[in-house]
Chain A
Amino acid sequence: TQLLEQSPQFLSIQEGENLTVYCNSSSVFSSLQWYRQEPGEGPVLLVTVVTGGEVKKLKRLTFQFGDARKDSSLHITAAQPGDTGLYLCAGLRGNTGKLIFGQGTTLQVKP
């Protein structure tokens, strides 16, 4: 059973388009993180959201944590080929220090 469901799993778009990736769960998380992973490398942290309803922006990327702290979204405006990669959401349960990862969303941005 996957505690964190990401959608879509694959996304192929043209440069300049907007997109949203969703991360959903029936469980409450104390915080949620988004990572980006390139082929042959480990995931790299993009952002951590802690408060329900919190919105964080990182250049063209906007991250939102759901009010009930069960879901999150990543919105990319005017996607660039450099945004291509695997995007992973990960939730922290309580204060265990253990992250639970979603399956990931593979994004391809064509020039």
Chain B
Amino acid sequence: NAGVTQTPKFRVLKTGQSMTLLCAQDMNHEYMYWYRQDPGMGLRLIHYSVGEGTTAKGEVPDGYNVSRLKKQNFLLGLESAAPSQTSVYFCASSYLGQGYGYTFGSGTRLTVV
């Protein structure tokens, strides 16, 4: 099925460890986004990309890095995980234009102990 695929679905990290979350979309969307979702906080934008080879900071970028080497993939990296990064991470993609909604992946639940 067409859509956004996130891997892994669950992960437990120790403080200080690093990891990369993978996001792939097969809809030829220009824009891709990484959000984190925490109770009572809604979805907060970490980083986003408006096209292959471009990335930009969102609302809460500290402690994260991203790369978009191919149009269909958007990677989110944690170089040195902290307990404050325990969250559910969602990747989304969209076409350019205000009338288009986001297509979200099913999320990655990350726990940092």
Q: Which residues of A contact B (CB under 8 A)?
A: 2, 4, 9, 30-31, 33, 35, 40-45, 48, 50, 88, 90, 92, 95, 97-104
- In the complex the two chains form, is A97's CB within 8 Å of B107's CB? no
Contacts of B106 in A (CB 8 A): 40-42
- Given A88-B43, A97-B50: A31 in contact with B98 (beta carbons within 8 A): yes
Q: Which residues of B contact A (CB under 8 A)?
A: 4, 31, 33, 35, 40-45, 48, 50, 58, 90, 92, 94, 96, 98-107
- In the complex the two chains form, is B104's CB within 8 Å of A42's CB? yes
Closest CB in chain A relative to B34 CB, distance in Å:
12
Q: With A and B bound together, what is the CA distance between A42 and B35 in angstroms? A: 11
- In the complex the two chains form, is A41's CB within 8 Å of B107's CB? yes
Q: With A and B bound together, what is the CA distance between A30 and B99 in angstroms? A: 9
- Beyond the given pairs A33-B101, A44-B104, 11 more chain A to chain B contacts, judged by CB atoms under 8 angstroms and listed by A's residue number, are A31-B98, A31-B99, A42-B106, A43-B104, A45-B102, A48-B100, A90-B102, A97-B94, A97-B96, A99-B102, A101-B44
- In the complex the two chains form, is B107's CB within 8 Å of A42's CB? yes
